[in-house]
Structure 1
Amino acid sequence: MTYNTEQRTSLLSFLTENPDKTFSAKEIAVALEGKNISKSSVYRNLAELEAEQKIKRVTKAGSKESFYQFYDNSECKNHIHLSCTKCGKIFHLESEQTEKLVSEVEQADGFEISRAETTLYGVCKDCGIKN
């Protein structure tokens, strides 16, 4: 049984308000300072929300730290994600592009892609323009 505590509600609200970004547990704890939620509550609630598939946990290239993103959205679960390594923003690869990419990989290599867990890392056009 899951309890909808004030801490859990604050945590989930924060993540749903930022669905296109990933955050470490530390970043979430800092963002929620003053909302009466301890670091241990952040970690416990993240684990529970991940088990319920409301959020997903990812690691980034070159980091051992886990990052979390709101995920309780059927639209999100059917896309390949593009993650900017500079700004951290997450994008959905459009459905037509996703289907084309998946189809080409499956036909060429016989490899079945699980879209729900697929993230491609690179630099978004905004960050690429800046540098």
Structure 2
Amino acid sequence: MFKQCRQELHQLAHPRALLNIKVGNSMVSDRVVRSVWSFFFLYVVFTSFFIWALNLMGYDLFSSFATVAACINNMGLGFGVTATTFGTLNEEAKLLMCAAMIMGRLEIYPILILFSRMFWRA
């Protein structure tokens, strides 16, 4: 992603240049770059949604961020309210964090495919 950002900045300075992204000795196709950016975008969107939802439930921003980061990344306990246990969360917040854990464990794309109309028609 950093190489692609650097390439875009270079492209702004030199609009006619043909630039490629390399990882090791192999070139990365534009399709792969778009896939990485779309995954990153979806990750940020879902993380922001879960943080926003916990904030609406009355938890402070630090605890919301730390709890969502712990759940969606499957890294254990968070900081703030969930520093020692998730038992301090209310039932709705626990269900929301279960969804975040599933989203983090299965990754984002399988969850989106499960809820897509094309998946159920095939």
Q: Would you call these one fold, judging by a TM-score over 0.5?
A: no
Higher relative contact order (CA 8 A, sep 6+): 1
Q: TM-score, structure 2 length as denominator?
A: 0.31
Q: TM-score, structure 1 length as denominator?
A: 0.30
Q: Which is higher, the Rg of structure 1 or of structure 2?
A: 2
More strand by share: 1
More helix by share: 2
